[in-house]
Each structure stands twice: as C-alpha cells, then as structure tokens.
Amino acid sequence: MAELVQRYLDQIRAEHADDGDGALADYIPELATVDPDRFGLSLSLADGYIYESGDAAVEFTIQSVSKPFTYALALEHIGADAVDAKIGVEPSGEAFNEISVDERTKIPKNPMINAGAITAASLVPGTGVDDRFERILEFYSACAGRELSVDEDVYASEKATGARNRAIAYMLQSFGVLDGDPDRILDVYFRQCSITVTSTDLARMAATLARGGVDPGHGRRLMHPAVVQRTLSVMVTCGMYDAAGDWVSAVGLPAKSGVGGGIAAVLPGQLGIGVYSPLLDEKGHSVRGVRVCRSLSESLGLHFLSVPRESRSTIRASYDVESGVRVYELHGDLLFAGAERVLRTLERECVDFDVAILEISRVDDIDDAARRMLAGMRESLRRLDKDGYIVDPDAAMADAEVTVHVFATLDEALAAAAQLRASDG
C-alpha cells in the first residue's frame, strides 16, 4: 500500500517535470556540464522507510547542503559555547558568498553562508586536513547510511577557482576568527562541498535530523538532541539565505540548498525530503527543487507550523475479532506520516486478514492528506484481494471522496465483514 504514497510522489514530481526555468551553476566547468533535465525526489520516513521518484540514484555534489552537517559536527565536538564564540545565528539577508562578518561581533553572521561554513569546518577537531576531512566524511556517511565519497574533479576545480572563498577565509583570519592556515581550512571546506550524494542520501540525512540525531536506518545516535535543535533552528532562519522568508512562509520546513542542485528539508519528528534538479535560480537554489518542496508541503500538509503534534503512535491497538477480520484502533492526530504508517502496517500484515477495520473514533484531528490516504486504502487492499472498512462515528471522513466503506459503529462494520466473508465462501 506504500504505492499510494509512491503515486503521490510520482504525481507531484510529474507536475514539475516540464519546468525548465533556471540555469546550471557555471563557476566551475564540472557543474556546467551536468544533465539539466535530471530530477530526483526522495522521502525518508522517520523509521527509515524510503520512497523514491525519478532520478533518485543520480549522484551530484552536496555543495552547501553540507553546511548544517558540519555545523552540527562542530557543535557535537566542541560544544555550543565554543562554536558561538566564532559563528553567529542571525540571518544575514545576504547572498551565500557575501564577504562579510557581523558589524558588531566581527564573526560570521551564521553557519549557512560561506563565511560561517568555512569557520565551522575550522572547528571540527583533527590533526590535519586529512584527519579533519575524514571525520566530516564519516559523519555525513553515517547520516546517509552508506559510504560517501568525493568527486575529485569538482574538488580540484573548487580549489583552483575559489578566489571568493579565499577572500572570505583571509578576511576571517584577519578578524581572528580562523585559527590556522586559511588555505588548509579551505581545503577541508572544498572537499566537503565536493562530496557526492543522491536525493535519497539527502532524504536520509534530513531524516536523521528529523529523528533528533538518530539515523533512521540503523537507529544509532549520531548527534545530541540539543545539537539537532540548534542546527534545525539555523536551517529555518538562514538555510535558504536571502530567500529564507519566502521559503519558510511557502514551504515551512527547515532546509538547506546547494548549487549542485540539491535541497534537503526536514519535518521534525516525521520525515526528511531530498530533491535533486540542477537548474538554479539567481540565489543559487534549485528551481524545481523549491517548487516540488512547496507542492509536497501543501499537498501533504507538511508546514512545520501547521503540525502541532507528532503522530508516531497512531495505532493504539490491533486485534482479531474472528479469523480474517482485524481491527486497528487509531488515536491522536492523524497527519500524513501517521497515515502512511498505518497503510504500511496494513500492507505488512494483510497476509493475516481478509478485512481490515480502521476504528478512528479516538482520532482527535485528521488532515486532508491523511483523509485522502485512508480513502484510497480500500482500492489498494482490493488489489491484494482484501477489503478495508472504516468506523467513523464522528464523520471525520465526511469530506473525503470516499471509495472505502464507512460505518458509524464497529458492530455494523463487523456485520458487513461477516457478510462479505460468507459471500466469498
């Protein structure tokens, strides 16, 4: 039944398939020659389940999507006080590569612009460039759940052409922000930007943040919750640079973009999104990436300020009434991620029943996305030669285009199930 969600994802991706606006990054040749039509979309739920659509296996360089992860690593290793002494948390309203420090404090305004990101790379402990970078690569790999590597050509080009970043690093040295040789610190930063990922890697990395620092694949804790909270905060306020206000209003997910064409977005407690589409707007964000995130957020109800409560323990209880009929009692707020979980549970368990009855009388609130998904449940079950009913005494499903049988009481649903099973012989 995961195919219901899969269809949503494919549909949303298809809606944007023909958007051809934007331009490839061209400050280095490697980025200017990628296929502009590539378009990958991935979703990782908090339990590690992955949905993929389009070019989700195509690799591209992570670029600035790396910044929140290196910031988190610095926080993890040296603590917030030491990091705060070197990097602020105020949105700059400037382009990502602005040569600037905060006027008053003389440190970079935030860790999402290059000045702050180069400083963050300098704060990751290590005995030298290789050691420090290894730590970064290992950390990203753990978040992504697979071993990542570096695109050596992009790295060489970044290093050869990085005048702007060099200007930033030397400025930072002059203000006493960078300890150590600026070129060696830049070397770490350039390598970090040149790590290759897929949209699925980004979704997994985002889901690690969504789970408060626990990687969804293996359940290992990679960051402290306080580090994640701080990282997500700067992603909200600064992740999309001078477009942060638009992004938060329209999409409402902590996020980070990169000039390689990637965007990672996080719905705390619920899921991570990864998108890849390399045509960029003038601020350096993937045009289709922004649009598809906006559509996803709107149609699945993901805006973080409209999701007041987590929906993890949606299934309160399940039991067999008689052989072949299983009742699932749902409770709490039923939102996209909760409904997705319910559908996947049904799919997993459908070998054990002929009819599933979802009892939703204890559900406090159900949003449109969840309603649509429950409404589509029957169609999916029918394809597996099963059936699904809903017990909905408060008419919470009333507005849905219902193809599923809805009953006012459990007894009525059970009677219908018994009849169905009798007629099926």
Residues that bind ligand GLN (CB under 6 A): 63-64, 96-97, 114, 158, 165, 193, 258-259, 284
Q: Which residues are annotated as a binding site?
A: 64, 114, 158, 165, 189, 241, 259
Distance in Å, CB of 166 to ligand GLN, minimum: 11
* 159 or 371: CB nearest ligand GLN: 159
The single residue of 67, 86, 256, 386 carrying the catalytic annotation is 67
* 118 or 207: CB nearest ligand GLN: 118
* 92 or 165: CB nearest ligand GLN: 165
Q: Which residues are annotated as a binding site for substrate?
A: 64, 114, 158, 165, 189, 241, 259
Instruction: Look up residue 136 and give its amino acid.
Output: I
- The residues with which 424 forms a beta bridge, in sequence order, are none
The single residue of 8, 241, 276, 389 carrying the catalytic annotation is 241
- With tokens 């597996």, the residue in question is 384
Distance in Å, CB of 155 to ligand GLN, minimum: 10
Distance in Å, CB of 403 to ligand GLN, minimum: 45
d(CA 71, CA 49): 26
E strands present in 235-383 = 255-257, 262-267, 271-276, 315-322, 324-334, 353-366
Which pair of tokens denotes residue 2? 């995961």
**Burial class for 293, CB neighbours closer than 10 Å (0-12, 13-18, 19+):** buried
Distance in Å, CB of 390 to ligand GLN, minimum: 46
Residue with smallest beta-carbon separation from ligand GLN: 64
Provide the b/e sequence for 373-411 (b: ≥16 CB within 10 Å). bbbbbbebbeeeebbbbbbbeeebbeebebebbbbeebe
The single residue of 8, 71, 140, 189 carrying the catalytic annotation is 189
Which pair of tokens denotes residue 98? 């602005």
Q: Is 67 a catalytic residue?
A: yes
The single residue of 42, 44, 64, 297 carrying the catalytic annotation is 64
Q: Are 128 and 201 in contact (CB under 8 A)?
A: no
* 169 or 357: CB nearest ligand GLN: 169
Q: Is 241 a catalytic residue?
A: yes
Please list the active-site residues. Answer: 64, 67, 189, 241, 259
